[in-house]
Structure 1
Amino acid sequence: MNKWIQAMAALMLLSVVGCATVERDENRLDDFHAAQPKSLLVVPVVNNSTDVQAPTSVLATLPFRLGEKGYYVYPVNTVKTLLEFEGYYEPAEVHAQPPEQLAELFKADAILYVTVHEWTSRYVLVSTTTEVDFEYRIVNADGAELWSARKVLQYSPQGNSSGNPLADLIASAVTAAIERAAPNYLPLTRQAHNEVFNGHYVGLPPGPYSPAYEEYYQQLNNPE
């Protein structure tokens, strides 16, 4: 019995795991550097998960991160309203439109497309794992892809060990139940945005409204 309890307690892990592997490519940002977009149009999010709240949460957290990088971001609610006025009600339909047409409609320099592949919380025995999986693409106003990234994150909560296997098992079950009832989606979503926009070899260059913008491109054009 004690071995079973210890085995169950061992299943509870505290982790936030990034599952995206990125190969270093020194030239991956050449097109972005050449275009140097100032404004980004964030179009409605395509949702391949079963949770209807996923796109709203993603859109609610994107503008802040992009603004931090120094880009002008068109207000997402205004974008949605204007697209619907033009007859585009479904995100998949928007993503299928020629980028040139969307950019011209808003006079945007570039377009950010986001797809939610996973937005789930799985409960197994006394463990709950919450997972998000996002794909990002920035496309220039002429239709050329400038940047892309994909991020998968998982979170499995666990309480501190008390040294009592039975007490730890009960505490883990309670913690897992809380996570199952109210999954930690927003913190994971914010972390995903932060890691793809600021991560090594995947991050975006600073935008024109960032204090690091001029120094970044000076160093790029005049390497030591």
Structure 2
Amino acid sequence: MIKRLLKLAACVAPMVLAVGCASNKPAAYDYTAFKAAKPRSILVLPPLNNSPEVNAGNSVYAQVTYPLAEAGYYVLPVALVGETFKQNGMTVAADIHALPPAKLQEIFGADAGLYITITKYGSTYTVLDSVVVVAAEARLVDLKSGTVLWTGAASASSNEGGNNGGGGLIGALVAAAVKQVINSTTDQSHPIAGVASTRLLSAGYNNGLLYGPRSAKYATQ
């Protein structure tokens, strides 16, 4: 009886491990619509800011062009885009996001629009630490048809890699208080937003953006 149970356990264990591994692996993104649309130019809309930090939108907006250009796309200059919306009385990101895609295509002539939503931005204070976190989600939409070509999400934290040091409990409390003062008096979130933007919009990663036509890797995907 014991031998039979051991043999059964030996057979079941690999199955359990396989199921566990499969459940942890994200499903492959369906790029059918993306590849059919073949976008060459991208209009980045002013980000929708769902964080309490008023400067979050401008911080993220200023750092999205580089990873998209590196991925092989022509990106409409965000300063020009923002000024165009302003001249037309559109200054609220939520109102801009609500515009019909076809109208955006008519005005700017871009193939696709990138809609970014900031979900976290700023420092969070706990008993033993102060951590800066930036997180955002994005949708790439075909401006001619309104079809969603790709969605993604990414985040970055100032605490990545750990911050364990000496000093015991008192030292940790003092360090956390000092970090909180620094984070609240200077914009420590801005460089973290750059990391999050790069993770969100760089091409070539699992379920990330595809390379654009200006990239040498465009034909290989």
TM-score between the two structures when normalised by the length of structure 1: 0.77
Q: Please give the residue correspondences for 1:39-118 in structure 2 after superposition, counting only pairs within 5 Å.
A: 39-118=41-120
Separation in 2, partners of 1:164, 1:107: 59
Q: Residue 151 of structure 1 aligns with which residue?
A: 154
Is the CA contact 1:159–1:172 (under 8 Å) kept in the aligned structure 2? no
Instruction: Return the alpha-carbon distance in structure 1 between the equivalents of residues 25 and 54 of structure 2.
Output: 29
CA deviation after TM superposition for structure 1 residue 69, in Å: 0.5
2:19 corresponds in structure 1 to none
- Structure 2 unaligned regions, length at least 5: 1-23
Contact 1:71-1:209 within 8 A present in 2 as well: yes
Larger displacement relative to structure 2 (147-156 or 107-116): 147-156
Residues 1:139 and 1:22: Cα distance change in structure 2 (over 3 Å)? farther
Q: Secondary structure at the match of 1:150?
A: strand
Q: Tell me the CA shift for residue 102 of structure 1.
A: 0.5
User: Does the Cα contact within 8 Å between 1:159 and 1:168 map onto a contact in 2?
Assistant: no
CA positional deviation for 1:80: 1.2
CA contact (8 A) 2:139 2:150 kept: yes
Question: Is the Cα–Cα contact under 8 Å of residues 121 and 183 in structure 1 kept in the other structure?
Answer: no
Aligned to 1:179: 183
Task: Give per-residue Cα distances to partners, 1:57-94, cap 9 Å, x unaligned.
Answer: 11110001101101000011111111222332211111
Distance 1:202 1:196, change over 3 A: farther
Distance 1:126 1:146 in 2: 42
How many angstroms apart in 2 are the aligned matches of 1:45 and 1:29? Answer: 24
* Contact preservation (8 Å) 1:127, 1:156: no
**Residue 165 of structure 2, aligned match among 155, 161, 164:** 161
Larger gyration radius, structure 1 or structure 2: 2
Shift of 1:180: 4.1
Distance change (3 Å), C-alpha of 1:212 and 1:59: same
Query: How much does 1:172 deviate?
Result: 4.9
Q: CA, structure 1 residues 184+104, in 2 after alignment: closer, same or farther (shift >3 Å)?
A: same
List per-residue Cα deviations over 1:161-210 (Å, max 9, x = no partner): 34666556544543444334335312322222222233633211111111
Which segments of 5 or more consecutive residues in structure 1 lack a partner in the other structure?
A: 1-20, 217-224
Specify the SS of the correspondent of 1:115: strand
Q: State the SS of the aligned residue for 1:132.
A: strand
Alignment of 1:122-137 (within 5 A): 122-137=124-139
Task: Describe the shift of the 1:22–1:72 C-alpha distance in structure 2 as closer, same or farther (beyond 3 A).
Answer: farther
Aligned residue for 1:151, secondary structure, equals: strand
Amino acid at match of 2:197: H
The aligned amino acid for 1:190 is G
* Shift of residue 156, structure 1, vs aligned partner: 3.2
* Amino acid paired to 2:209: L
- Confirm or deny: 8 A CA contact 2:47 2:57 kept in the other structure: yes
Alignment RMSD (CA, Å): 2.4
Corresponding residue SS for 1:70: coil
User: CA–CA distance in 2 between the matches of 1:135 and 1:22?
Assistant: 20
| Preserved contact between residue 28 and residue 207 of structure 2 (Cα < 8 Å) | no
Following the alignment from structure 1 to structure 2, what is the Cα–Cα distance between the partners of residues 189 and 103?
28
Shift of 1:32: 0.7
Identical-pair percentage? 33
**Alpha-carbon offset, residue 211 of structure 1:** 1.6
